[in-house]
Chain A
Amino acid sequence: MDGPQDLGGKRNFGPINPEQDEPIFHAEWEKKVLGLTIASNGLGHWSIDEGRLARESLSPQQYYGLSYYEIWYEGVTALLKRHGELTDAELAAGKALQPGLRTDRRVSGEAMPKVLASGGPSERPQSSTPLFCVGQKVRTKLVHPAGHTRLPNYARDKIGVIQALRGVHVFPDTSAHGEGEQPQWLYTVEFDGAALWGPDAEPGLSNTIDAWESYLDPA
C-alpha cells in the first residue's frame, strides 16, 4: 500500500539523532505493549503480514505523529477488534464485557519461551520451478496497490539483477488480507543506485530488496 510506512527516499524527516546509551524501553507501558502484542499474536487470529497491514493502515497524520510503541498499541487493538476479541465499549469501560473467543489458544507463561524460540518461519516447500536465475535482469512491476505489498515505491518499475534465490516464502500481499499464504519464490534483487535515484545518487551506491516472483518481469 502507498501508505505512510513506505518511507524509502522520502525527504525532510530530519537528522537521525541516535540516542547515546539508549535504554531498551523508554517507559513501562512500552514493555507491556510489546508483551501484549506478542501474546495476542499467539492467539493465531492473524498473520505477521496482517499485523503489518494494521499498523500501516493508520492515517499519515497518526503514523507520523505516534511513537513506535503507540503505533503498535493502535495496531494490536485494531486487530483484536477486527477478530472479535475486543470492543470499543470494553476499552471505554476498562474491563471485559464479554468472554474471549480463543481462550483455548492463550499462550501461557510457561509456553512463551518456546513461542519466542521457534518464531514463525515464512519458508515453504519448493513446489514450483523458479522463473528467474542468478544474474538475470528483471524489471520490477509498476503497481500502486490499495492493499498490502512489500514492494517499496522507490523500487517499482526499475531494472535490477537477481542476486540470489531465497526459497519459497509466504506471499504477504495475500496473507495480509486473509487470502491465504500462496507461497512464491523470493529473490534478492540488486539495483545500481543511479537506476533508483538518478544522477543524484551517491557514487558507488547499490541497493537490494527481497522481492517475490510476482513483483518481477524479465527485462
Chain B
Amino acid sequence: MSFREGAKISDGHHHDHDNHLSDMDAKVRALQTILVEKGLVDPAAVDVVVETYEHKVGPRNGAKVVAKAWVDPEFRAWLEKDASAAINSFGFEGRQGEHMHAVFNSPEQHNMVVCTLCSCYPWPVLGLPPVWYKSPPYRSRVVYEPRKVLGEFGVELPESTKIKVWDSTAELRYLVIPMRPAGSDGLSESELADLVTRDSMIGTGLALEPEQE
C-alpha cells in the first residue's frame, strides 16, 4: 500500500488509476465552470495561485534563510528570537507562514516537523508539501518512531542525539535549521544554499556535504 497523489489506497491497477484521474479532471473542470459562471471565481486568480506555487515559491527560499543563518551570527540570533521578522526580511511572507518559528539542529538534538492533524507546512519558505508529508504513513509514525522514519529517508543519527518532533497543531509554522555540513568552510552564501535540501528543513534529511551536491 502506498499513498500517491491521484491514487486511491485500493488502486492496484494502472488502468483504474487512469480512469480515476480523468474522472477528477472532469469534475474539477465542471466546478471551475460553475464558479466562474456564477461570478465567484476569476480564472486568472486560479492561474496566479498555480503560477505562484509551481514556479515562484519553493524550498529555494528556505535554503537562503538557512545559508544566511550559517554565515551571519546576528541573523541567526534574529531568526531564533523572531523568525517571522527575520524571514520576512527576504520578502518571504504570507499564506501558511504568518507565524514562523525556527528550530536549530545540533549534535545533541535533531528536530523534525509534522502535522498529524492535516498538512500544515511553511509555504513561503518551502512551497507546497510533498505527498509523503501529507499522507498517513508519515503523519502517523514520525511522532513515535522518528528514527525508523529517518531510516526510510536514508538518515542515521548517532544514538546520543535526541530527537524532538514538533506537531504543527496551531498556526505556528516550523522551519528546521539543519547543521552546517562538514567541508563547507569558505563557500559563499549562495553555494551554501545549494547544500540545503527541502527535507533537511523538515528534519527528514541533513544538509548535503559539498561533494554530495
Nearest Cβ distance between residue A171 and chain B, in whole angstroms? Answer: 10
Contact between A152 and B33, CB atoms less than 8 A apart? no
A50 within 8 A of B: no
A106 touches B118 (CB 8 A): no
Chain B residues with Cβ below 8 Å from A38 are: 49, 95
Interface size on A, residues (CB 8 A): 106
Contact B118 A33 (CB under 8 A): no
Chain A residues within 8 Å of B138, by CB: 16
When the two chains form their complex, are residues B34 and A94 in contact, meaning their CB atoms are under 8 A apart?
yes
Q: Is B7 an interface residue (CB 8 A)?
A: yes
Size of B's binding interface in residues, CB under 8 A? 90
Interface contacts (Cβ under 8 Å), in number, total: 320
Judged by a CB distance under 8 angstroms, whether B38 is at the interface is yes
Can you name 30 A-B residue pairings with CB atoms under 8 Å? A10-B140, A13-B135, A17-B132, A22-B130, A24-B128, A26-B5, A27-B21, A29-B27, A29-B28, A34-B53, A35-B48, A36-B32, A38-B49, A43-B40, A56-B117, A67-B6, A69-B6, A94-B34, A100-B39, A108-B44, A111-B45, A116-B95, A119-B94, A120-B98, A122-B171, A150-B170, A186-B172, A202-B146, A205-B164, A207-B167
Ranked 6 nearest A-B pairs via Cβ: A109-B44, A35-B46, A100-B38, A8-B116, A210-B170, A96-B37
Q: Which residues of A contact B (CB under 8 A)?
A: 5-11, 13-19, 22, 24-36, 38-40, 42-43, 48, 52, 55-56, 64-70, 73, 76-77, 80, 85-86, 90-91, 94-96, 98-100, 102-103, 106-113, 115-123, 150-152, 154-155, 166-167, 169-170, 172, 186, 188, 190, 193, 196-197, 200-212
